[in-house]
Amino acid sequence: MNTFRTLAMAMAGTVWVLASCGNSGNDKGKKKDDTNKAELPVLAAPLFEEKCAKLFAGSAPGEDFEASGIHFQQGALYVIFDNMRRVGKIGLAADGAFGPATLGEGKKSSSDYEGIAGDGSEGFYVIAESGKPGLEYQPFVHHYNAALVQDGKISLRLKTRIEGAGFEGIAYTERDGKQFLLCLNERNGLIVVFEKTADAFDEVATMELPVRFKDYSDIALSGLRMAVTSQENSRLWIGSLRSDAWQVADSGKVYRFPVGSKTGEMGNGKKELYANIEGVTFINDSTLATCTDRVKASQPEMEAIRDQSVQVFRLR
C-alpha cells in the first residue's frame, strides 16, 4: 500500500460522529437517483491511507481486518471489524498522519459488527448486523468503555418494520438534554431515531434520505453536517440536518470516491477503486476518514489494493 502525503489540519476538541437523515424535500417526496451520474465530482486521492494489517503492529501475516465502522473521538480513530470483537484505536497526529495503533480486548471471531458511535462520554456503542431470516428483528447495541472493553448490552425497542439484515450504521447525538441513537438501514437508507431511557433506547422517529443508492453503508455527523456512504455505488453524500426536527434540511451533494485504471492506478481511468467503503467519520467539516472491508472473491483483483484499510479524504 502506498502512503500518500499527509494532511495539515487542526483537530481541536472532540468531533462527534453523528448521523441522520430526513424528509427529502424533492418534489412529491421522490428520491433523486445518484448512483450512475458521470458528472458527479470525484474526490481527490486520499491525503493519507494505510492497510489495517500494517497499522496494527504484531498482526499475523495475512491476517484479515474486515473494517466495518469508524469513529473519530478525542484525537483518535476507533475502528470495528466484522471478523473480530476487538475495537482498534489509531492515533492521529496534528498534521493528519496516523500515529500508534492498538487493539482492545476481545475474541478474533465473527462479530458482525457494523457501526460504532460515541456514548456522550468516553465510551462507545457498537451495533451488530443481527437480523435472522424468519425471525423478528430485535436490535441491540454493545457498550465499550474507554479502555475498549465490552461492559454491557442495551436493547433498541423498535416499532418500525426493518427490511433486510437490519442496521448497518449507528450514530449518537444529544438534543435538549436527551440522548439519541440514529440507526441506518442498509437496504433503503431509512434512519430510525431512538431515545435513551432508563433501561433501553426507544424508537421516537424515522427519517429518509433525499438520495437513492444501491446500499447504505454508514452515517456520520459533525454538528449539523452529515455524511452517508454507499459501498456498492462507491459514493459519498454530504448534506445537513435540521436543528428543530428529525429531518434533512437540503438535497445535499453526492461525490464519487477516487477512480482509476483497471490495474488500480488512481486518476487514470474511470474504474471504481473504492468498492468496499464500510465506514465514514468527520475529522472536521472538510475532512473525513473512511475504512474499507475485505473484497469478495467475485470482485476484480485491483479492488483488493485498497481493501481492509483506513483513509483520510478532504472534500473538494
Domains parsed from the chain with CATH numbers? 27-314 (2.120.10)
Residue 25's pLDDT is what?
Answer: 36
Mean pLDDT of 274-285: 95
Query: For 245, phi and psi rounded to 5 degrees?
Result: -160, 160
CB–CB of 63/290 below 8 Å? no
Weakest-pLDDT range from 1-15, 57-71, 104-118: 1-15
Q: What is the pLDDT of residues 121-171, one digit of tens each?
A: 999 999 987 655 555 677 899 999 999 999 999 999 999 887 666 899 998
In the prediction, which pLDDT does 32 show?
67
Cell (9 digits) for 296 = 469478495
The model carries a pTM of 0.87
Q: How far apart are CA 139 and CA 141, in angstroms?
A: 7
280 and 15 Cβ atoms separated by less than 8 Å = no
Exposure string of 132-163, with b = 16+ CB inside 10 Å and e = fewer, is eeeeebebbbbbbeeebebeeebebebeeebe
